[in-house]
Structure 1
Amino acid sequence: MSSRSGAAIGIWRARNVRTVGDRGFLIYMVLMVALVTVAPLARAVWLSAASEEGVALFASPAAPGVTMLIVAGLWSGGLLLGRDRGPALHPPFLTHALAASDLPRSDTFRGPVLRAGVLVTTMTTLVAGLVAGSLVHHGLSEPLSGAVFTAAGAMVGVITTVAWLVGQAFPRAAMPVALGVLALGVTTAAIPLMQPFTPWGWVGLAYPGSGTSHIVVALAALTASLAAVVPVLMNRLDLTALAVQSARWDAAAAHTTGMDFNMAAALYQGRPHRGRGTRAIRPRNRLAWTFLIRDAVGSTRTPGRLIVGVAALAASGVLITLAFAPATPGWLLGAAAGLIVFAGIGPLSDGIRHAASVAGDFPLYGISDEHLLANHALFPLAVVVLVLLAAVIVCSILTGIAVAAPLASAFVLGLLTLVARVSNALKGPLPPVLLTPIPTPMGDLSAAVRMTWALDGLLLAALAGASAALAFEVPLLFIGVAVTLITVGINRWRHRG
């Protein structure tokens, strides 16, 4: 970093000077969080990965192919994420001051990019090391092969950071490139002969126990080449785009601090830009068809959100099917499927959020609040059921898993998650009573209660997914989760407005 850039950033940081006491408290807080939260969580993750179910999952013949798909999806996600929130980002004022100056952006925005790269690379390295460590621990892979795969995980993190920056520098090209990467990843997983010729294929070939670890040299060369073009990419960043991303991220952070996650997510919803000339309101003999067509046409005006939502639903259908495969952690895959379904319904439920926002006020359409909500729920219900069931049927045929149980679980999971979405839309602002301190011998639990309230939709969706996967083994759990979801939704509906 040049002296001019360092001086400018130093002035910005000098606004809030930390005393010795502040730094000591920060160190104390980090240590306590590491001991109380991080260490037990890391131990639980390792025990799960080293268990029989975890080892069976990592040692399955499909694991290298799934790894390739994950890597391709990760790089595609980085490209798409960069369009809305890139790694090169300062606070709004500092972003404007530095980007509007004559200083090169490769110098002024180096710090945020390096921090983002370290974070992403650390996460991918830990995941790869977890997989490799589990296999090496059980003697299913050589230590050298595990170390090579861990190094490949680190390089995947570096490439992900570069892809993230590419999406920020070239937002218009990010979407087609991301779709191309994802399509090639699927093709490579389906055609093994393509693996030596694709970067995600190299990662799959470096999987522990594959015996082709030397291919990581090509991945290292690609990583070094992409890292070399990072300064060029940073210098291409646009001032207006940087200012918009910085202001939006600052607003989202403020909403997140207040635990208003719905508003924070709404800031990143795409604006309708396609099909504005298509008529959405088409009167039919049955009012339900009018609402169904209206919501369907409205969703196509943001095609990116619609595609992501449908893809998420399809992925959750695959997960809920694999949850019924032998020697797999069904509850874990089911919980992941529930979370993905909850996220996938989001782009489809704009009508539900509208109905929830006007519920309790004077009727706008000459129908009751109940009918308005029910009519707006038709489109997401139809899409969720069709996509989930289709994904389950296709995955069952390809994997040879009996289709009946996954089909029933996917159906009820879609219904329960839709109920969770409706309940989340009716939640409203944070109740003031939750601001009351809750003193206990372990400390004040009010923050944990508020966090649980803020994330109750995700928690209930994960529980719904886990219970749906275990519905035939532990039916009481499924019944309890279903009753809880319905009760919470009814209670919020009664207290709407």
Structure 2
Amino acid sequence: MSTRSEAAIRVWRARSARTAGDRGYLVYMFFMVALLVAAPVARAVWLSASSMEGAALFASPAAPAVTALVVACVWAGALLLGRERGPALRPPFLTHALATIDLPRSDTFAGPVLRAGAMVTASTTIAAAVVASSLVSRGLAEPLHALAFTAVGAAVGIITTAFWLIGQAFSRAAIPLALGSLALGAATATFPSTRPFSPWGGVALAYPGVGSMSAAATVCALAIALAASLPTVMNRLSHAELAAQAARWDSVTIHAAGMDFSTAAAIYQGRPHRGRRLRAVRPMNRLSVTFFIRDAVGATRTPGRLIAGILALIGAGALIVLAFAPTAPSLLLGAGAGVLLFTGLGPLTDGLRHAAYVASDLPLYGISDAHLLTNHLLFPVTMTAIVLVATVLVCAATTGIAVIPPLLSALTLGLLTLVARVSNALKGPLQPALLAPIPTPMGDLGAAIRLIWALDALLVAAMAGVSATLILHTPVLLVGIASAMLAVAVHRWHRRG
């Protein structure tokens, strides 16, 4: 072993020894706070899952197909996530030191992979255990089948970790593999006869109530095989990719610690690369058409972000339709639809953020700031309306739910989330007044206030989703939230300079 390698190992061990006590204290405090927060949340989740409505939802005939589709989406998402931020991740200094020595990657980066895999596996196991326990508590499944499905949940977590690492090691193959997983998952959910031939179909076949022990054993065997291949996959990790991911993640954590979440998210945004020769600004008879074409061409230059945004809009529309099902948790689905819709509008509102950025300066295009903002709203409004209307019509026809209530709710939520996007673009930097401490008998609440300020758009979008699902029952709530959002947006618009 070279002298440089020995020095790097000594530095690594010395740093680990110095920070072991601090890490142990931080881990202890983290788990104490997590227990205090998670206990009431876990109780609420269990009461909702074990209720008659929750058990009826889990025992519905479509539950296995939905499970197969969800598992396929999770594995596809793990492949795509590995391209940007894989589980084999260390700080930049340690990454450079450990990636340039003679030790194999399976030894130097095994710790982060095991920790990430433990978190993912614990999450999937708990989710499977909640579903299985809910069905057993109502006498809708055998305890043995419930135990087997819980083991399948752990296997799904192991497979997810393996796909996450595969996406990091083989970044070019991750996109076609993810698209293939999504297509095959949709086919498996649509055609039940294909379930024995796919791993996510095996998860559906092991569902409690209709569970097959052989399917559960097959999924667990696949998880064991992939777990055995993890060291080989880790040894395929390149130094350049590890260093790039470590640098990006370090920058993201720095910005996130300063509650600059917009800049942190922009670090992972893909650079425009498609259609660079396609002319975006084309003079037309109507100025609004010029801006519409400009925003449309600009969105297509990052096709990955555009597709992800459209899929998020489709998911939000599906959640809105499901929120109007008789036994569905409408408030939770509405909040999720609002957050998902706000997130999906990001790739469609780049022009809107540009308009908000230049609105505080001299006019660039010879038109007023309000006219500029209105023209940049045309493309996201049109795309949101088209995607939401199509999604609601298809989902309502598939589930047999009346079309008018979810359609009205979806269009209303689309407008409210666009208002939230405009308000968030006009928010500006953190106000110095929010940096002052706020002493209370429970401690300093200044950090909580700054966190709420940083995440106000997501919180408002969630509340807008809840109010949109209750539009036919309590329209007063929708009017109040919409009025508050408009008032905040107008206030920020007047203070943009």
Same fold per superposition (TM over 0.5)? yes
TM-score, normalisation: structure 1: 0.96
1:255 maps to a residue whose letter is H
- Give the secondary structure class of the aligned counterpart of 2:381: helix
Q: Distance between the aligned counterparts of 1:136 and 1:454, measured in 2?
A: 42
1:167 maps to 167
Partner of 2:287: 287
Q: How does 1:242-261 map to 2 (within 5 A)?
A: 242-261=242-261
One-letter identity of the residue aligned with 1:173: A
Distance 1:264 1:367, change over 3 A: same
Match of 1:116 in 2: 116
- State the 1:17 CA deviation: 5.4
Distance 1:461 1:31 in 2: 29
> Any conservation in 2 of the 1:206–1:213 contact (CA below 8 Å)?
yes
Instruction: Note the C-alpha offset of 1:475.
Output: 1.1
Residues 33-89 of structure 1: CA distance to partner in whole angstroms, max 9, x if unpaired?
Answer: 145312112112212222333223222221111111110000000000011111111
TM-aligned CA distance change 1:458 to 1:159, over 3 Å: same
| Cα distance in 1 for residues equivalent to 2:330 and 2:386 | 23
Change (3 A) 1:240 1:413: same
Listed one character per residue, the Cα deviations across residues 296-331 of structure 1 (whole Å, up to 9, x for unaligned) are 111111111111111111111111011111111111
SS of aligned partner of 2:271 = coil
Q: Secondary structure at the match of 1:348?
A: coil
In the alignment, is residue 378 of structure 1 matched against residue 381 of structure 2? Answer: no
* 3-state DSSP of counterpart to 1:207: coil
Inter-partner Cα distance in structure 1 for 2:301 and 2:69: 28
For 1:371 and 1:322, the matched residues in 2 are separated by 37
CA contact (8 A) 1:76 1:181 kept: yes
Distance 1:373 1:6 in 2: 56
Deviation at 1:90, TM superposition (A): 0.7
Residues 129-168 of structure 1: per-residue CA shift (max 9 Å, x gap): 1111222122221211111111111111111111111111
> Using the alignment, how far apart are the partners of 2:38 and 2:135 within structure 1?
23
Q: Could you say which residue in structure 2 is the equivalent of 1:16?
A: 19
Q: Look up the SS of the partner of 2:19 in the other structure.
A: coil
2:281 maps to amino acid: I
CA distance in 2, matches of 1:207, 1:291: 50
* Contact map agreement 1:128 1:150 (CA 8 A) in 2: yes
1:15 CA drift (Å): 4.6
Correspondences of 1:472-483 after superposition (within 5 Å): 472-483=472-483
User: Quick one: percent identity of the two aligned structures?
Assistant: 61
Q: 1:143 maps to which residue?
A: 143
Which residue in the other structure is 1:36 paired with? 36
What amino acid is aligned across from residue 129 of structure 1 in structure 2?
Answer: A
Distance 1:101 1:24 in 2: 31
Mapped contact 1:12–1:94 kept (Cα < 8 A) = no
Are the structure 2 counterparts of residues 487 and 104 from structure 1 closer, same or farther at C-alpha, using a change threshold of 3 Å? same
Q: Structure 2 vs 1, CA of residues 351 and 25 (structure 1 numbering), >3 Å: closer, same or farther?
A: closer
User: Could you tell me which residue of structure 2 aligns to residue 184 of structure 1?
Assistant: 184
Q: Are 1:299 and 2:323 an aligned pair?
A: no
Change (3 A) 1:108 1:23: closer
Which stretch shows the higher mean deviation, 439-448 or 85-94?
Answer: 439-448
Question: Over aligned residue pairs, what C-alpha RMSD do you find?
Answer: 1.7
Q: How many residues align?
A: 492
- For structure 1, which segment, 129-138 or 259-268, has the greater mean C-alpha deviation from structure 2 after superposition? 129-138
Structure 2 gap segments, 5+ residues each:
none
> What secondary structure does 2:295 align onto?
helix
Match of 2:158 in 1: 158
* Deviating more after overlay: 38-47 vs 164-173: 38-47
Deviations 1:227-262 (A, max 9, x none): 122111111111111111100000000011011111
Q: Deviations 1:364-420 (Å, cap 9, x if unpaired)? A: 111111111111111111111100110000111111111011111110111111111
**What displacement does 1:213 show?**
3.2
Task: Output the amino acid matched with 1:490.
Answer: V
Cα distance in 1 between the residues matched to 2:252 and 2:98? 22
Deviates more, 1:270-279 or 1:39-48: 39-48
How many angstroms apart in 2 are the aligned matches of 1:64 and 1:233?
31
Q: 1:96 — aligned with what?
A: 96
2:403 corresponds in structure 1 to: 403
AA of the residue aligned to 1:180: G
Residue 74 of structure 1 pairs with residue 77 of structure 2: no
Moved more, 288-297 or 372-381: 372-381
Secondary structure of the residue that 2:346 maps to in structure 1? helix
Contact 2:151 2:220 in 1 (8 A): no
Give the whole-Å Cα distance in 2 for the aligned partners of 1:32 and 1:112. Answer: 22
SS in 1 for 2:485: helix
Residues 177 and 486 (structure 1), Cα distance of their counterparts in 2 relative to 1, 3 Å cut? same
Partner of 1:199: 199
The answer (yes or no) to whether the contact 1:253–1:264 under 8 Å persists in 2 is yes
Shift in Å at residue 113 of structure 1?
0.6
Partner of 2:343: 343
1:32: how far off?
A: 4.1
Give the whole-Å Cα distance in 2 for the aligned partners of 1:90 and 1:183: 34
Name stretches of at least 5 consecutive residues in structure 1 with no aligned partner.
none
